Structure 1
Amino acid sequence: MNPTLEPLPLDDATLALLHAWVTHPRSSFWGMQGATPTEVARAHHALAATGHHDVWLGRVDGLPTFLAETYDPARSAASPLRDVAGLPPGVPAPGDLGMHVLVAPPDPDADPVPGLTRAVMAAVLDHCFADPAVQRVVVEPDVRNTAIGRLNAESGFVVLGEAALEDKTAAVSVLTRADHDRRRGRVPARTDPAAHLTPANLARAQRHLVAKALSELAHERVLRPEPLGDDRWRVVDPTGAVEHRFTATRLRLEHWALDEGSVERVVGGRSEPLDVQRFVVEHATALGLPDALLATYLEELAATLAGACWKLAHPGPDVDALLTADHLTVESAMTEGHPGFLANNGRIGFGVDDHRAYAPETGARVRLVWLAARRAHTTLALVDGLDEETLYAGELGAERDRLQRRLVDLDLDPADYLLLPVHPWQWTDKVAVSFAPDLARRDLVWLGEGSDEHRPQQSIRTLANATDPGRCFVKTALAVQNMGFVRGLSPAYMAVTPAINDHVAAIVEEDPELVTRGFTVLREVAAIGYTGDAYHHAGPRSAHQKMLAALWREPAAPRVAPGERLATMASLLHRDHDGRSFTVALVRSSPVDPRAWVRALLDAYVRPLAHCLLAHDLAFMPHGENLVLVLRDGVVARVVMKDVGEEVALMHDRPLPEPVERARADVGPDLGALSLHTDAVDGVLRHLAALLHTEGVVDQDDFWAEVAACLDRHATDHPELAAAATAYDLRRDTFRHSCLNRLQLRDHRQMVDLGDQASSLMWAGELENPFGRSRVAAAPPGVRAGGLRAGGLRAGGLRAGGVGAAV
């Protein structure tokens, strides 16, 4: 398929063709229904006479197939963007080029050509940007033209706003040169792909990461800062030659609220630039980092610094914009990664072009590669009530026929194969080489790219469908190392994932307390894995056995009721380019006071987690990227759990269905309680409490008092769980201090054994519980569940507006 453009010659034959196109019923948005050939010719000549409005005939493989118009939106009298009241700010601007495109109505007797419209749009945009003066392409389709709206979105256009024109309401949209180049896989000419790596950006990134190292490693008691007085501290390396000085306040849970601007590296009495890699080398012995792994860990720190520099050079939306942004925009705006890990954004394996193409912060759009995997060597597991036909019909629709036609063209029977989605990087860099024999045997068959565009999540290997948000998230194997793990997926491990999801979902959906809270899970409804390769036959466990698998997770978008929106829970700890907190912006935009806002969050987050633990011995891993917040008026109404299959534990001795046995964790209540104490309290709430405290929004003692009150309200409402509450004792005065960086530093190639995660943990004594009984008194009598009274919000976390019904 080879689209080309040429100036439109208005001879008799071309005029007849043009007239047929623009008057066709499918071209109604061109506004020329009923026009005569003479009127079409007159309109064309009027455009040509302006001197800044051009009409182009497009051919595909030599055949006339489409029409394109380009114009200067600031000068063309025919442009609907000239002198329009209410036009979005900045349109038109120098370097803008207006564009219209019309693909010829299809011949009713001809077969449709898959991908034609997208290929035409790409060719037209390439034509527009061939002029180096063009910096943005501007379009203004009728808001009712949903088909072109979807195509524009897939091509990267961003809607800036609506403008009321004489004959329509236009969705004024722009596509920048940089975004078009990125989507087309190009690095613009004369552009340095490492331009973000500047001394200024590196200095900021180093300061942030060194400050985080001092704070988190002191929290884990790996480092022991020495007081200098007046909240000044120092950390000295084992030789005594290098010290880091800083200002910090110690908060509850031994959290070090450290002033990044105060950090200073001093050698021989002189200040030197901050350098997190040198810091790690100097403290390697205290960190417990083996010599054999030091270089690899330093590489992951370098990659984390590179990612930070890119984000500094390309600041995302500010927190004000995020208050009304959609879920995927909020997801892509996150800058920090995991709040505890130092090496938290490495993605070892991605090159600089891969980062541009596949990282969430770049706004990347990804098309999955589809393979046919021989059924005899492939396992497809499904939740109850879902069959193979329904899965593929829902996720691929009519495109399934196109993919399977390649099998027929190769004289292969589609019934012998299952369809397996693969990340495009995984296909190019791993599968096409490491599985070459399987491809040659036709045990695996390349079928091509899917047409749906996906956007990567912070977890990098999970992709949200941007073309059709009603379709599933797809989690793929991705053999890059990120935050201590090679992000593979084990076919054997995932074979029971849908069954575990069914079991957990049934518990959640049948529990009245959880239903009242609106607490739900996104089920992983299907999992597929290929095992016909030599690596599986070899026997010993290896990363190669985790390279060809995927799962489908229910989408979040259908969970949203009118007036609600979604945001990743990681956003609660997000700060924008200017250091402004998203949580503080949410609190200040909400109709409730700050403590009521915290109360709503805790009732939606901590209370359901505690209830699952006490009522069902069920533990999740509820850190930031495993939850989706449902917001109403800036207040957390409820939460939705995800990543159920790999990160859930059932800690009881009750019978379980055989496939669900993998989720059984043989641990006592002390370790079981850490699913709340470590994962939620130390891993999330510690950081949130410090943020609100240092911003002067909610005092830390008031925050932890709210946590205590939340648990006490639950206990009052559920006296039948008194025995379990005593066993787990969530309000004990201390709990074991489980340390994440110690775990990563011991062996960042595989931090935990997924088959026995508890035995992999590393400890640093006990932490004082900030909501322990000896610190926080019990809630006063009469304080009931929810506790939200301000602003007319009812107990249970914003029940008004049918929140429960939306689940």
Structure 2
Amino acid sequence: MTLLDAEVAVGLPWESPLGRVDARPVEPERDLALLHRWVTHPRSRFWGMQGWSTEQVREELEGIAASTHHDAWLLDLDGEPIALAETYDPERSPLQGRYDVEDGDLGMHVLVAPPRTPRTGTTDVVMTAVMRWCLRDPRVQRVVVEPDATNDAILAKNLRAGFRSRGLVQLPDKTALLSVATRTDFADSALARQFLRGRPSPAPHLNREAMSAAQRDLVTKALRELVHERLIRPEPVDGRWRVDTGTTTYDFAASAHPLEHLAIDPASVRRLGPDGAELDLDAQALVLELRSALGIPGDLVDIYLEEVASTLQAAAWMHDQRQPSAAELVEADAQTIERSMTGHPSFIATNGRIGFGLDDYAAFAPEAGRPFSPFWVAVRKTDSRLSLGEGLDEDAFYARELGPDHDRFRALLRESGRDPEEFRFMPVHPWQWQHKLAITYAPAVARGELVPLGEGRDRYQAQQSIRTLFNLDHPERSFVKLALSVQNMGFLRGLSARYMAATPAINDWVHELVEGDADLREVGFSVLREHAAIGWTGGVHAQLDPSSAYAKMTAALWRESPVPRLQPGERLATMASLLHVDQQRESLAAQLIRASGCAPAQWLGDYLRAYLRPVLHCLLAHDLAFMPHGENLILVLREHRVVRVIMKDIGEEVMVMSDRPLPEAVARIRQPADREEREMAIFTDVFDGFLRHLGATLSQVGVIDDDAFWEVVAGVVRDHRADHPGLHDGFDFFRAQFSHSCLNRLQLRNTRQMVDLTDQSGSLIHVGPIANPIAGRG
């Protein structure tokens, strides 16, 4: 049972906001005149019964009444007929053989009565009522619809009801868009949220079994990362390890790996009280037990504990659902892989999302994997700034990204008496509109400075970065990155209109540099440009401090899709997936290596030449440092091997670590650093931030031992040095030690904003040297 499912499935009658809705079987003789008028009305043209005689309609209704697999129902609103609904068995319909019918599928058609006096919200109420009616039978698992592909109105309504497109099908009388909604899809849909809001949402995933698994995983991760950051020091005792907090003792089995990585066996972790009695594992309790060692400021402890609780809630949800195994993910598409990830490998409080409720989580969390559509507003050109990448034209850009919605939104503006030429269109996260813009900027909405246009037609899926969305219906179109004023992993996830203005120019400059480098072209390295950014500059808050959270509520950007770059036989996966371990403790990276048929060292060498080599080359040849962690890179796979990588999230996280001349529009990314600090871009962000986890995981599952793993890493660095000896002058990536930079210490110091984006290097916390795993291999 998921979001509101208990109520969604109870059927009719239903006390809707417009009145009591109920259903009754169609009786051909009694209802003939009414239904003949409805189905022959011009607004019902998609039913294909225009010009039908009364006798033809009678024959149709009598045929349905006599059928054992097709039924017709009238929906009444306060006793008056309001809609016709039909249900049918897809296996015995024109859909037979055109899609894979599953047990529990129920086909559905709906016709809203042509209104004498239009009433706002009628079609939403009808669609909600029909879905409740279809799902009243627990045997029904999916509702299937096949509307005409040109019927924009019903396509938009299906989207709000949670239907997911399965592609075009050719039926005898039309080209249809086959769409399916599961019980969960509808329960999590915009219509269910609209009409059932205000009623407590069940939380079946918050059960003892799921939470116990979540607690064990998070406590294990916390112990591992706190040991790594030297906030706690375990002692070896009788072949195991112990951590004494002063009030409790944690006892566990673990293996030690390079970079002070203690790979702890989750099943072995025990928490013991002062009397030696075993206590439940509790991540929040662990934080409090170690509060003094962690050094969390007193006014931030509550916030951090809430982020830990939210992280546990998300983990419990994933444990309670059947997640794909690592073996299944080997063959999965990019978006299935994306929604199966479990968060940042190093941060403890990785899924804070303070501001989301249960309904929001089910609708918008990446791991929920629910498609939704951005909300769109129109903003005056005089009160906004649109920055476009080189060669882009505003009208052509909007037409390409919005498709038919572009003309629809322009029509909505004209219908409201506004000139579309005076406005731009800005996507807004649905949560942001509902909880922030419509409230914080209510006067501006009333004045027509922010004009709500409604949800777009395309369905998107949230990525691991939560505010970045992928277009499911048109994968070739851009990712959309939206302001989202929730607190998550050390930041309020807003977007600054002022800061975003330079983003396309920065991306164009980086793209040109990368494309012009022969070494990068040889390994297939490329970047996804953030090629358009929009920010609303109106409202009273625009006159205040630009660093304020209120100045970061109304901006968005578009990033290129990698899909058009794929060659036959290639597929995509987030690089974060290489660190994924499923609920059975199986490693996805290990499964990929086995499926490829390659020797582990060969597979790793291919991967690291596609990842480590270009990151190293950009640093040495161009003083250019990215933020190359798992979620910021996309792997291109062929036959389960990495053939190249694509870098993303350029505008906010790239930097030039020298005082080299830059175009004025790009100057903000200049952050000069000495050579040792530049080396840290490899040591900290690549070695410690990513390869530490990958090497330990592959060693644990017996794919490749630590020494062999780091020898492959060293070999990639040696090969680059041999090809470009002059670039390595003065740099030493094989030195014995490097400075140990710590991520959780940043968040513990200030969970509201752990890093100053204008001085990222100066915000870091170092805790002495750490042994370099490729030292002496040069």
Of 219, 235, 244, the match for 1:210: 219
Q: Any conservation in 1 of the 2:46–2:148 contact (CA below 8 Å)?
A: no
Distance 1:635 1:156, change over 3 A: farther
Shift of residue 755, structure 1, vs aligned partner: 0.7
Shift of residue 475, structure 1, vs aligned partner: 0.6
Aligned to 1:257: 263
Aligned to 2:88: 71
Q: Any conservation in 2 of the 1:86–1:164 contact (CA below 8 Å)?
A: no
Aligned to 1:764: 767
Distance 1:330 1:151, change over 3 A: farther
Distance 1:642 1:16, change over 3 A: same
Q: How does 1:665-744 map to 2 (within 5 A)?
A: 665-716=671-722, 718-719=723-724, 722-744=725-747
Q: How does 1:544-563 map to 2 (within 5 A)?
A: 544-563=550-569
Q: Deviations over 1:527-570 (max 9, x none)?
A: 11123232232337321111111111111221222211111111
Aligned to 2:302: 295
1:745 aligns with 2:748: yes
Shift of residue 189, structure 1, vs aligned partner: 12
Q: Any conservation in 2 of the 1:181–1:188 contact (CA below 8 Å)?
A: no
1:70 aligned partner, one-letter code? T
Aligned to 1:110: none
Q: How does 1:39-78 map to 2 (within 5 A)?
A: 45-56=62-73, 69-72=86-89, 78=92
Shift of residue 404, structure 1, vs aligned partner: 3.2
Segment of structure 1 superposing worse, 446-455 or 206-215: 446-455
Shift of residue 415, structure 1, vs aligned partner: 3.0
- Please give the alpha-carbon distance, in whole angstroms, between the structure 2 residues aligned to 1:732 and 1:169: 65
Q: Any conservation in 1 of the 2:40–2:52 contact (CA below 8 Å)?
A: no
Q: How does 1:425-574 map to 2 (within 5 A)?
A: 425-539=431-545, 541-574=547-580
Aligned to 1:793: none
- Please give the alpha-carbon distance, in whole angstroms, between the structure 2 residues aligned to 1:118 and 1:600: 53
Q: Any conservation in 2 of the 1:19–1:36 contact (CA below 8 Å)?
A: no
Shift of residue 731, structure 1, vs aligned partner: 2.7
Shift of residue 686, structure 1, vs aligned partner: 0.8
Distance 1:606 1:66, change over 3 A: farther
- Please give the alpha-carbon distance, in whole angstroms, between the structure 2 residues aligned to 1:158 and 1:403: 23
Q: Any conservation in 1 of the 2:107–2:144 contact (CA below 8 Å)?
A: yes
Of 304, 317, 339, the match for 2:311: 304
Shift of residue 319, structure 1, vs aligned partner: 2.5
Distance 1:713 1:196, change over 3 A: same
Aligned to 1:285: 292
**TM-score, normalised with respect to structure 1:** 0.83
Q: Deviations over 1:392-426 (max 9, x none)?
A: 11122332233234444444333333222111111
Aligned to 2:629: 623
Give unmatched runs, 5+ long, in structure 2.
Answer: 1-16, 115-119
Q: Any conservation in 2 of the 1:70–1:100 contact (CA below 8 Å)?
A: yes
Q: Any conservation in 1 of the 2:247–2:289 contact (CA below 8 Å)?
A: no
2:425 aligned partner, one-letter code? L
Q: Any conservation in 2 of the 1:473–1:555 contact (CA below 8 Å)?
A: yes
- Please give the alpha-carbon distance, in whole angstroms, between the structure 1 residues aligned to 2:622 and 2:463: 30
Shift of residue 8, structure 1, vs aligned partner: 5.0
Shift of residue 461, structure 1, vs aligned partner: 0.7
Q: Deviations over 1:336-376 (max 9, x none)?
A: 21100000001001111111111121122222121222322
Q: Deviations over 1:214-268 (max 9, x none)?
A: 11011111111111132x111112xx33211111111011111111111111122
Distance 1:502 1:8, change over 3 A: same
1:222 aligns with 2:231: yes
Q: Any conservation in 2 of the 1:58–1:65 contact (CA below 8 Å)?
A: yes
Segment of structure 1 superposing worse, 538-547 or 463-472: 538-547
Distance 1:332 1:143, change over 3 A: farther
1:390 aligns with 2:396: yes
Q: Deviations over 1:487-514 (max 9, x none)?
A: 0111111111110000000011111221
1:233 aligns with 2:241: yes
- Please give the alpha-carbon distance, in whole angstroms, between the structure 2 residues aligned to 1:85 and 1:475: 36
Q: Does the residue aligned with 1:727 lie in a helix, a strand or coil?
A: coil
Distance 1:165 1:769, change over 3 A: same
1:99 aligns with 2:107: yes
Aligned to 1:274: 281
Q: Any conservation in 2 of the 1:103–1:117 contact (CA below 8 Å)?
A: no
- Please give the alpha-carbon distance, in whole angstroms, between the structure 2 residues aligned to 1:566 and 1:542: 37
Distance 1:543 1:163, change over 3 A: closer
- Please give the alpha-carbon distance, in whole angstroms, between the structure 1 residues aligned to 2:690 and 2:252: 24
- Please give the alpha-carbon distance, in whole angstroms, between the structure 2 residues aligned to 1:27 and 1:146: 10
Q: Does the residue aligned with 1:355 lie in a helix, a strand or coil?
A: helix
2:205 aligned partner, one-letter code? H
- Please give the alpha-carbon distance, in whole angstroms, between the structure 1 residues aligned to 2:200 and 2:584: 26
Distance 1:697 1:490, change over 3 A: same
- Please give the alpha-carbon distance, in whole angstroms, between the structure 2 residues aligned to 1:524 and 1:86: 37
- Please give the alpha-carbon distance, in whole angstroms, between the structure 1 residues aligned to 2:478 and 2:615: 25
Q: Deviations over 1:170-193 (max 9, x none)?
A: 999753212211113347999852
Shift of residue 64, structure 1, vs aligned partner: 11
2:443 aligned partner, one-letter code? P
1:298 aligned partner, one-letter code? L
Q: CA RMSD in A?
A: 4.0
Of 313, 317, 323, the match for 2:320: 313
**TM-score, normalised with respect to structure 2:** 0.86
Q: Any conservation in 2 of the 1:138–1:172 contact (CA below 8 Å)?
A: no
1:319 aligned partner, one-letter code? A
Shift of residue 616, structure 1, vs aligned partner: 1.1
Segment of structure 1 superposing worse, 322-331 or 483-492: 322-331
Distance 1:709 1:64, change over 3 A: farther
Distance 1:116 1:59, change over 3 A: same
- Please give the alpha-carbon distance, in whole angstroms, between the structure 1 residues aligned to 2:685 and 2:159: 37
1:354 aligns with 2:360: yes
Aligned to 1:604: 610
Q: Any conservation in 2 of the 1:619–1:650 contact (CA below 8 Å)?
A: yes
Taking every aligned residue pair, what percent have the same amino acid on both sides? 47
1:325 aligns with 2:332: yes
Shift of residue 60, structure 1, vs aligned partner: 13
Q: Any conservation in 2 of the 1:461–1:487 contact (CA below 8 Å)?
A: yes
Aligned to 2:134: 128
- Please give the alpha-carbon distance, in whole angstroms, between the structure 2 residues aligned to 1:64 and 1:190: 28
- Please give the alpha-carbon distance, in whole angstroms, between the structure 2 residues aligned to 1:739 and 1:580: 27
Q: Does the residue aligned with 1:464 lie in a helix, a strand or coil?
A: strand
Distance 1:151 1:693, change over 3 A: farther
2:533 aligned partner, one-letter code? A
